[in-house]
Amino acid sequence: MYNVKEVVANKPSRFTAGHRMCAGCGAPALARMILRAVHPEDHVVVSNATGCMEVSTFIYPYTAWTDSYIHTAFECASAAESGVEAAYKAMKRQGKLPEDEETRFITFGGDGGTYDIGIQSLSGAMERGHDMTYVCYDNGAYMNTGIQRSSATPKFADTTTSPAGKVILGKMQSRKDLTEIMVSHHLPYVAQTAAYMNFKDLYEKSEKAIYTKGATFLNCLAPCPRGWGYKTEDLMEINKLAVETCYWPLYEVENGVYHVSYKPVNKKPVVEFLKTQKRFKHLFKEGNEWMLEAFQEEVDKRWNELLAKEEITNK
C-alpha cells in the first residue's frame, strides 16, 4: 500500500539532472516535483509540446525523462496524449496490457503552446474527459523563440513584440485567465500553483490532479530569468513575491467548488513583485505612476473576484 510519509523523501527523480534548461528557470523545478507526485509503482506517458522544456530536455540521443516520452508540435500535445490514453484503454480491453497495470498520462506545455497555439486541442481533450493531466508551465511569453508576447504575458510587460518605448509602453492587453477557462470546462479538478512554501502546495496539487479520475489541469508559474530579467539565484524569491502580492494566487477548484490555498496575512503591494524584473523597469520612470496603479487595480480586482467565488461555491 502506498504511504506518503514512507516514500516521498526517498523517491527517485523521474526528471533527471543533466538537462539544458537555463539556470534560474522555473520549469525544471516544476517538472521534477510534479513527477515526484506519481506513485513509485506507476508508469507515466509524458507528452511535451515544442518549447523550452522540450528542446532542452530531449536532445537525441539524450533525455532527462525516465518515463515514456513523446515530443509533439506546439499545437497538438493534448491531442497526442488523449490518443495515447485511448490506445492504452483499447489495449487493456483487448488483453494486450495487464488490467492491473497503472499508467498515468501527463502533458507539459508552455504558455505559448497552451494559452495560444495549443488551446484548441487542450479544450478538446478536456471536454472529452480523457483520463489525463495537463500541466502548463507559464513563463509569460514565447521564451524559446525570442521572448515574444503571448496571451499569458501580463499587461505593460516589455517583450520583443511588445517593446516598451515611445510608441507603446509594453504589452497593452490584459493577461488571459486560462485557469478560469479550464474551470468553465467543468473538470473534476483544476488548480493554480507555484514552486513556493517548500513545494508543499505544488506536490499536493500535482498528486491530486494526477490521481483524480478524468481530465485535470494544473497552471504553474514558471519564472524565466532571460525573459523576465532577474538574477538566476532569485528564482524562489520571484515565486514568493508573485504569491504574496496575489499576482499569482494559489487555489484549486474541485467539481466547481473553489478553495483558495493561501491567503497572505499581509498582502504585499504588487510593486514588490514588479521591481524585481527588467521587463517592468519602464513602469518606474517618472510619469508612469499610472501604470503601477493600473497593474495594482487589476491584481486586486482578480483577487477579490476569486475570494467571492470561494465564498459563493462553499455555501
Q: How many domains is the chain partitioned into structurally? A: 1
* Model confidence pLDDT, tens digit, residues 169-210: 999 999 999 999 999 999 999 999 999 878 999 999 999 999
pLDDT at 214: 98
pTM: 0.95
pLDDT at 18: 86
Average pLDDT, the chain: 95
**Residue numbers of the domain that contains 217:** 4-313
* Model confidence pLDDT, tens digit, residues 228-270: 999 999 999 999 999 999 999 999 999 999 999 999 999 999 9
Helix pair 77-93, 119-128: axis angle to 10 deg? 30
> How far, CA to CA in Å, does 229 sit from each of 109, 111, 223, 233, 238?
22, 18, 10, 12, 11
For residues 44 and 14, the answer to whether their CB atoms sit within 8 Å is yes
| Alpha-carbon torsion angle 70, 74, 79, 84, nearest 10 | 0
* Model confidence pLDDT, tens digit, residues 102-123: 999 999 999 999 999 999 999 9
* Interatomic CA distance for residues 49 and 72, integer angstroms: 5
* Model confidence pLDDT, tens digit, residues 32-91: 999 999 999 999 999 999 999 999 999 888 999 999 999 999 999 999 999 999 999 999
CATH number, residue 307? 3.40.50.970
pLDDT at 3: 53
> By three-state DSSP, how is residue 45 classified?
strand
pLDDT at 1: 45
pLDDT at 300: 98
